[in-house]
Amino acid sequence: MKLKILYHSGAGSTQTIAEVYHELLNCSSCSIESVSLNYDYSSLEDIDILVFGFPTYHCAPSTTALDFIDKMPAFVQPVRLFVFTTYALYPGNALRKFIGKAARKNLVLCGHAAYRSPASDGSLLLPHMNFMFNYGKTVPKLVQRDVSKIRSILRGQTAIKVRKPGVRLYTILNFPNSFIAKRFKMTFTILMDRCIQCGRCQRNCLRGCWEDTEGGPVVNYANCESCFKCIHHCPVGAIILTSGTLKRQKLTLSYYRDLKRGLLA
């Protein structure tokens, strides 16, 4: 059986879990890939199992994950799906929404999971709290459990068709928050005296928001989903939301490397 792990990740919480899945599965027929703006769906034609991961933004799947599943052509034969989300406080109906769309693409749900993860928004916007920089204490065990489930799907042992999660009514409480976020996009300041013009912000942005100009990087917010990857991964901290975020600890690549080691230990 051929398995593909596909993920969308902003700062790196979802990517880290996807990579841990891949390492624990340790199988020659399993591959891993990030989604991209112009993803070549033909590379999914011969897969039997899709493992899909995405972050929860505003109690829903990230826009990139939704765009990805909306554009995906339906499979001719049913393909098994294991789907997971990462979230900081509450995932709301994120899994349910994604699973509903996936069902229309002939993806048959075999399992789902939600992992409490570092808060890519809260780590920049709220006062420092340790939990916003770590995975939940139970996440390593949950990941082991879920990888075992995926292994049994690979061996064809898991009964097909798992029910999608029920509606979580508390998500209504988040409506004002997501309404404001959709109406008023967060804008950044680029500190040109710090910027080393490395181009990482442009290369890293999956939404194609950055342009490298002679005067330095320029951001166009039209397609931005405020994943904050550009802020967390700028090597010199030159992208800020407010002056208050200048000295904030960031969720850098090396930070996630350490977290990954912890998840695999």
Ligand X SMILES: Cc1cc2nc3c(=O)[nH]c(=O)nc-3n(C[C@H](O)[C@H](O)[C@H](O)COP(=O)(O)O)c2cc1C
What's the rounded Cα separation, in Å, for the pair 215 and 64?
29
- In this chain, which of 44, 119, 139, 143 binds ligand X, going by CB under 6 A? 119
DSSP string, 196-244: ----HHHHH-TT--EEEETTEEEE-GGG-----HHHHH-TT--EESSGG
SS3 content of the chain, % helix, strand, coil (to 5): 40, 20, 40
| Residues paired with residue 95 on neighbouring β-strands, in sequence order | none
Please identify, using beta-carbon distances, which residue of 29 and 138 lies nearer to ligand X.
138
Please identify, using beta-carbon distances, which residue of 188 and 228 lies nearer to ligand X.
228
- In this chain, which of 69, 239, 240, 241 binds ligand SF4, going by CB under 6 A? 239
Reduced to 3 states, what is the DSSP secondary structure of residue 167?
A: coil
The site map against ligand SF4 for 9-38 (x = CB under 6 A) is -x----------------------------
Reduced to 3 states, what is the DSSP secondary structure of residue 77?
A: coil
Establish if 142 lies at the interface with ligand X (CB under 6 A).
no
Residue with tokens 């995975």: 135
C-alpha torsion 227→232→234→237, nearest 10: 130
For residue 6, the partner it binds in ligand SF4, ligand X, none, with Cβ less than 5 to 8 A by kind, is none
Reduced to 3 states, what is the DSSP secondary structure of residue 115?
A: strand
- Check: CB of residue 85 under 8 Å from CB of residue 95: yes
The DSSP H or E segment spanning 189 is strand 189-190
C-alpha torsion 3→10→86→236, nearest 10: 120
Min dist CB 85 to ligand X, Å, is 8
> Which part of the chain contacts ligand SF4 (CB under 6 A), choosing from 15-23, 116-124, 131-139, 224-232?
224-232
Establish if 219 lies at the interface with ligand SF4 (CB under 6 A).
yes
Residue with tokens 């949950």: 142
For residue 55, the partner it binds in ligand X, ligand SF4, none, with Cβ less than 5 to 8 A by kind, is ligand X
The site map against ligand X for 80-109 (x = CB under 6 A) is ------xxxxxxx-----------------
The site map against ligand SF4 for 177-216 (x = CB under 6 A) is -------------x----xxxxxxx--xx-x-x-------
Establish if 11 lies at the interface with ligand X (CB under 6 A).
yes
Establish if 236 lies at the interface with ligand SF4 (CB under 6 A).
yes
The site map against ligand SF4 for 40-69 (x = CB under 6 A) is ------------------------------
What's the rounded Cα separation, in Å, for the pair 157 and 175?
40
- Chain residues that interact with ligand X, rule: CB under 6 A: 9-15, 55-59, 86-92, 117-121, 174, 226-228
- Chain residues that interact with ligand SF4, rule: CB under 6 A: 10, 190, 195-201, 204-205, 207, 209, 217, 219, 224-230, 234-236, 238-239
